[in-house]
């Protein structure tokens, strides 16, 4: 066996395998604010979706640097789920840290957030875009120095009186919304799994507008 082939078998194959493994690793980030008083608020839908995603798996979150994390394995894919502990408006710091620590490519990042411009429960996945006035997304854009990252927006509607936006966003779900929330959370969980298994374009085609 030639020296080049031996060297490739020792080093090249290992590097190639590591590259393949990295492409199968994803960072799924639910945005929210820590603390009991925020737990059931509309602004914390990112946390709520991740909690629903792992509920049937009985996988606990562990408090680590800059957030609570857990790992979900799905058909050869590794999903690292992150609920930042930096509060919503400083989410970028936690995301940047865990992307770099886990060596996850930017295209395998998915950020889950609430959206006032979408009807309640609507799902919209995009590969880029502005922060839309959302302070959490604004900080992520600042820390990552790009607007080109995948974001999954969950509609919370805009049925609030003039000047009451903050109260609405930081308010708890209405009784009617709570009745419909479980079905919407399941759909959101299916979207995340599809993102990891089928890719962002197929997932957008299947779930956007539902």
134 as an active site residue: the answer is: no
HSE-up of 152 (CA within 13 Å, CB side)? 34
From CA 144, how far away is CA 88, in angstroms rounded? 16
How far apart CA 27 and CA 101 sit, in angstroms, is: 11
Spell out a b/e string for 59-88, using b for 16 or more CB atoms within 10 Å of the CB, else e: eebeeeebbbbbebeeeebbbbbbbbbbbb
Contact indicator for 115, 43 with CB cutoff of 8 Å? no
DSSP string covering 144-161: HT-S-SEEEEEE------
Count other Cβ atoms within 10 Å, centred on residue 23: 13
CA 206 – CA 195 distance, rounded (Å): 10
Q: 97 by DSSP, 3-state: which?
A: helix
Cα angle 74-75-76, degrees, rounded to a multiple of 5: 95
Q: Which of 43, 52, 124, 134 is catalytic?
A: 43
Active-site residue list: 43
């Amino acid at each position: 066996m030639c020296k080049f082939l031996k060297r490739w078998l020792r080093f090249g194959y290992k590097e190639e395998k590591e590259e393949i493994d990295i492409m199968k690793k994803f960072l799924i980030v639910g945005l929210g604010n820590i603390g009991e008083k925020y737990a059931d608020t509309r602004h914390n839908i990112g946390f709520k979706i991740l909690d629903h995603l792992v509920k049937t798996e009985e996988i606990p979150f562990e408090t680590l640097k800059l957030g609570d994390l857990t790992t979900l394995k799905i058909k050869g894919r590794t999903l690292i789920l992150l609920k930042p502990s930096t509060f919503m408006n400083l989410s970028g710091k936690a995301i940047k840290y865990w992307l770099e620590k886990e060596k996850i490519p930017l295209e395998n990042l998915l950020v889950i957030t609430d959206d006032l411009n979408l009807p309640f429960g609507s799902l919209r996945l995009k590969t880029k875009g502005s922060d839309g006035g959302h302070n959490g997304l604004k900080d992520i854009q600042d820390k990552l120095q790009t607007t080109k990252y995948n974001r999954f927006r969950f509609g919370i509607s805009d049925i609030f009186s003039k000047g009451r936006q903050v109260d609405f966003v930081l308010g708890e779900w209405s009784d009617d919304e709570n009745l419909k929330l479980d079905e919407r959370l399941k759909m959101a969980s299916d979207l995340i799994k599809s993102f990891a298994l089928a890719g962002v374009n197929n997932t957008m085609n299947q779930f956007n507008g539902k």
